[in-house]
């Protein structure tokens, strides 16, 4: 991951609000881990699925900031005739059932396929039933939630602004990092919040790719599903409330800052 690009993308937001938001998410994860040792909360179900969900959502957003933001910028400036097709492909996860994406992910990266076997035997990389695979699947499935708002933000920038920056001697990368990204920071924040909340509650892709491995791929949504399947509705209520609270607490700071801007 290009950490320098990530620091620049986050640092362009005034008062480093994105850093505060992701710091808030990390603090929330630590809080959940800490209170699980209190006597009162020992009566609650296992909280590790919520920690896995928070970790997955935060990692997905960080990867999307590095990958999806430059892609959205290039897409916004592109005049290529294939642009509508590319936009359709990017938006496809919104329309596709998540199990379809998960099935093809299993087919391509499973050990029974040449690609999956080569990755496992040559590079010792296994995407199926691993947290790394969850991140990859979540990034692909969450791509439109980051790309669409960010692309709209870049498209709203007058071309004269970018052209004047080039005339003043700025390189194309400097125009992107120091002109376009700061102007479109609202869109970056919106896309980050949407991608985070979406990844936090994702079920279909997570179930197909990661299975149900405790502490690694068992997310809160899967734990909720298991509780319902076992007719343990009291536990299901707790997991549902935790997911709802985590989503609200994660999205609220972002949209509050967006309104203040």
pLDDT classification of 255: cutoffs 50, 70, 90: low
Cα dihedral sign, 179-185-191-193: positive
Residue 86 pLDDT greater than 50, yes or no: yes
Give me the pLDDT at residue 52, please. Answer: 93
CB 129 within 8 A of CB 47: no
Task: Please state whether 80 falls in left (phi above 0), alpha (psi between -120 and 50) or beta.
Answer: beta
For residue 250, give the H/E element and its range: helix 233-260
Give me the pLDDT at residue 254, please. Answer: 64
CB 243 within 8 A of CB 201: yes
pLDDT digits (tens, 9 = 90+) for 155-176: 999 999 998 999 888 899 999 9
Query: Looking at residues 173-183, what average pLDDT do you find?
Result: 92
pLDDT digits (tens, 9 = 90+) for 32-42: 555 454 444 45
Give me the pLDDT at residue 46, please. Answer: 81
Domain parsing of the chain, residue ranges: 51-260
Looking at domain 51-260, its CATH superfamily turns out to be MetI-like (1.10.3720.10)
Give me the pLDDT at residue 15, please. Answer: 43
Mean pLDDT over all residues of the chain?
82
Give me the pLDDT at residue 40, please. Answer: 40
Query: Looking at residues 91-117, what average pLDDT do you find?
Result: 88
pLDDT digits (tens, 9 = 90+) for 116-152: 889 888 888 889 899 999 999 999 999 999 999 999 9
Please tell me the number of Cα atoms within 13 Å of 215 on its side-chain side.
0
Read off the pTM: 0.79
d(C-alpha 100, C-alpha 67), whole Å:
23
């Amino acid at each position: 991951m290009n950490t320098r690009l990530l620091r620049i993308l986050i640092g362009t937001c005034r008062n480093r609000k994105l850093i505060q938001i992701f710091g808030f998410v990390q603090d929330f994860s630590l809080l959940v881990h800490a209170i699980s040792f209190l006597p009162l909360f020992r009566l609650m179900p296992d909280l590790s699925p919520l920690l896995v969900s928070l970790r997955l959502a935060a990692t997905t957003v960080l990867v999307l900031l590095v990958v999806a933001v430059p892609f959205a910028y290039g897409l916004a400036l592109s005049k290529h005739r294939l642009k509508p097709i590319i936009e359709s492909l990017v938006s496809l996860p919104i329309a596709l059932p998540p199990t379809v994406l998960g099935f093809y992910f299993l087919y391509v990266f499973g050990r029974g396929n040449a690609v999956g076997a080569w990755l496992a035997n040559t590079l010792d990389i296994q995407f199926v039933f691993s947290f790394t695979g969850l991140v990859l699947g979540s990034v692909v499935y969450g791509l439109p939630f980051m790309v669409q708002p960010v692309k709209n933000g870049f498209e709203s920038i007058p071309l004269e602004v970018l052209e004047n920056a080039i005339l003043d001697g700025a390189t194309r990368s400097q125009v992107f990092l120091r002109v376009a990204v700061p102007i479109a920071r609202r869109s970056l924040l919106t896309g980050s919040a949407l991608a985070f909340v979406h990844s936090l509650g994702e079920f279909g892709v997570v179930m197909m790719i990661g299975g149900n491995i405790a502490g690694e791929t068992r997310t809160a949504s899967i734990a909720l599903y298991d509780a319902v399947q076992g007719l343990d509705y009291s536990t299901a209520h707790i997991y549902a409330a935790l997911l709802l609270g985590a989503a609200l607490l994660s999205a609220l700071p972002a949209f509050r800052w967006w309104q203040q801007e």
